Chains A and B, each alone.
Chain A
Amino acid sequence: MLISCPYCGPRDVSEFTYQGDGNRPRPEPASTDQAEWNAYVYDRLNPAGDHNEIWQHSGGCRSHLAVTRNTLTHKISAVSFVRKQGAGA
């Protein structure tokens, strides 16, 4: 599996660290809504198909990346810097 880092170009997956599901909206830090925090910590969309996820190019430029990857084929259709588009997680 290759991930095309927008800064470094296509690199082997072993250079990257998976930081998990990018579909988890983080509650406002001041929120005291327990159900909302529980859902953020424990509940996952886990789709069979395109999945929004966060990777870090930890063995390269160390950027955090928002990746869209198909969980059935491992095909990656989009990679961008998290800081540009923002991410839930």
Chain B
Amino acid sequence: MAEYSVFSLLRNALNGNRDWKPAWRKPEPKPAYEVIIIGGGGHGLSTAYYLAREHGITDVAVLEKGYLGSGNVGRNTTAVRSNYLLPANMRFYEHSMKLWENLSHDLNYNVMFSQRGCLNLAHTPAQLDEYARRGNAMRHEGIDAELMTPAQLAREVPGLDLSASARFPIVGGLMQRRAGTARHDAVAWGYARGADRRGVDIVENCEVTGFLREGDRIVGVTTTRGEIRARKVAVAVAGSTGRVMRLAGIDRLPIESHVLQAFVSESLKPIVHTVLTFGMGHFYMSQSDKGGLVYGGDIDGYNSYAQRGNLPIVEDVMSEMLALFPSLASVRVLRSWGGVCDMSMDGSPIITTGPLPGMYLNCGWCYGGFKATPASGFAFAWTIARDEPHEINAPFTLDRFHRGLVIDDKGQGATPRLH
């Protein structure tokens, strides 16, 4: 397997880069495994990696219906942050942040994690009060947060329209310095390589078409590449959870699938060096190392599995960008795309044993699953290996909705399109 170091870089540079080895094998699926993970996205791959690294379980197959990185792990806007309000979310996402901070070393793979900060802008005194409350809650949990004045914002983001005549004048902001971005493809590839070299089979172009049962128990799957049996079957297919779980006979879940669009502009000189969010609507933006602005806003707002959206949201997102940066009016959009998100009923995810014997479920990531990738895999691997949740995912059960234990960070209630 490829080892990456300054020496391998030099050697391959001198060889004309002819000797790089593929980062993971392309194995034929075996007839049986200890654990099958359905879904070769970020969460499935990190689950496989932590199963092997933390629990010594290497007889694992990751089944991916397309190619690696073709789903949401390659469609998000790459932001990583842990600026939540509720303790369950703060602890989970802060655990993830700590894994992010060491991820490139851990994987020996440069995921380009850049702690450039995440800045939420406030446009009313009430909103600034709410940010102060959230910042204080974060600091109580040992997470960094800074409340910023407009004068500090002017130094931080010089292009921002801080004038009193702005459509929604900016009165302050909440900054998490340790937040940032990571290269999403590299996260998928790094986890894939790390899992593969520990013995995990990553099987691409292998779509699950049904579940094998013995009585109530799930004992394997049927796929487009044949039948594969396993003692434990884990589902990590956020976006397609409804489709896959229906194959197991589960018709209703506390989830709706919605489409979220994202955009990249042409390359510009550096103008924004943090992840920036607009508070009078829903808009977020960062600038990639290539110079493209990477940005998005709300989900389209109706159920969809289509991986493409409609124009009203495109107009909304562009107008919100111009409300912050009138100077970007003539910047061209290079491309846009859509990804399908599991919108849960409280905006928080589900990582749990069940709902059927022999099955494990990881879903409901709304449109914030990328930052969770390390902790999601870490907690899901723990849950699969030990048949009980880790303390960081114990609150994220499937039955919390019916038990009155929802974790609703935004306080929006059971209206998924508002989370």
- Which residues does chain A contribute within 8 Å of B242, judged by CB atoms? 46-48
* Beta-carbon contact of A53 and B303 below 8 Å: yes
- Among B256, B305, B312, B401, the one with the most A-chain Cβ atoms within 10 Å of its Cβ is B305
* Beta-carbon contact of A45 and B252 below 8 Å: yes
Interchain residue pairs with CB less than 8 A apart (17): A12-B312, A18-B417, A41-B414, A42-B254, A42-B414, A44-B252, A44-B255, A44-B416, A46-B255, A46-B303, A47-B246, A48-B243, A48-B257, A51-B303, A71-B257, A71-B305, A73-B306
Give the distance in Å from the alpha carbon of A20 to the alpha carbon of B414 in the complex: 11
B336-360 contact mask (Cβ, 8 Å, vs A): 1 or 0:
0000000001000000000000000
* Beta-carbon contact of A44 and B254 below 8 Å: yes
A62: interface (CB < 8 Å): no
Closest Cβ neighbor of A1 among chain B residues? B310
- Which residues does chain B contribute within 8 Å of A42, judged by CB atoms? 254, 345, 401-402, 414
- Which residues does chain A contribute within 8 Å of B255, judged by CB atoms? 44, 46
A46-B310 CB under 8 A given contacts A35-B402, A72-B305: no
> Which residues of chain B (237-265) have a CB below 8 Å from chain A?
240, 242-243, 246, 251-257
Give the distance in Å from the alpha carbon of A16 to the alpha carbon of B253 in the complex: 26
> Which residues of chain B (276-308) have a CB below 8 Å from chain A?
301-306
Give the distance in Å from the alpha carbon of A1 to the alpha carbon of B338 in the complex: 15
A78: interface (CB < 8 Å): no
A43-B254 CB under 8 A given contacts A73-B306, A74-B304: yes
B415: interface (CB < 8 Å): yes
> Which residues of chain A (22-79) have a CB below 8 Å from chain B?
35, 38-39, 41-48, 51, 53, 69, 71-74
Inter-chain pairs besides A21-B303, A42-B345, A71-B304, 5 sampled, C-beta below 8 Å = A18-B302, A18-B417, A41-B345, A42-B402, A51-B303
A13: interface (CB < 8 Å): yes
User: Which of A13, A35, A48 is the one whose CB lies under 8 Å from B305?
Assistant: A48
Report which A residues bind B (CB closer than 8 A).
1, 12-14, 18, 20-21, 35, 38-39, 41-48, 51, 53, 69, 71-74
* Beta-carbon contact of A46 and B256 below 8 Å: yes
Give the distance in Å from the alpha carbon of A37 to the alpha carbon of B370 in the complex: 33
* Beta-carbon contact of A46 and B306 below 8 Å: no
- Which residues does chain B contribute within 8 Å of A1, judged by CB atoms? 310
* Beta-carbon contact of A43 and B253 below 8 Å: yes
Give the distance in Å from the alpha carbon of A46 to the alpha carbon of B312 in the complex: 23
Return A81 CB to nearest CB of chain B, in Å.
Answer: 19
Give the distance in Å from the alpha carbon of A21 to the alpha carbon of B303 in the complex: 8
7 residue pairs, one from A and one from B, having the closest CB atoms: A43-B252, A46-B242, A14-B312, A42-B401, A38-B402, A42-B254, A18-B302
Give the distance in Å from the alpha carbon of A53 to the alpha carbon of B414 in the complex: 16
Closest Cβ neighbor of B345 among chain A residues? A42
* Beta-carbon contact of A74 and B310 below 8 Å: yes
* Beta-carbon contact of A13 and B312 below 8 Å: yes
Closest Cβ neighbor of B414 among chain A residues? A41
- Which residues does chain A contribute within 8 Å of B345, judged by CB atoms? 41-42
Return B235 CB to nearest CB of chain A, in Å.
Answer: 15
- Which residues does chain A contribute within 8 Å of B402, judged by CB atoms? 35, 38-39, 42
Give the distance in Å from the alpha carbon of A42 to the alpha carbon of B312 in the complex: 28
Return A42 CB to nearest CB of chain B, in Å.
Answer: 4
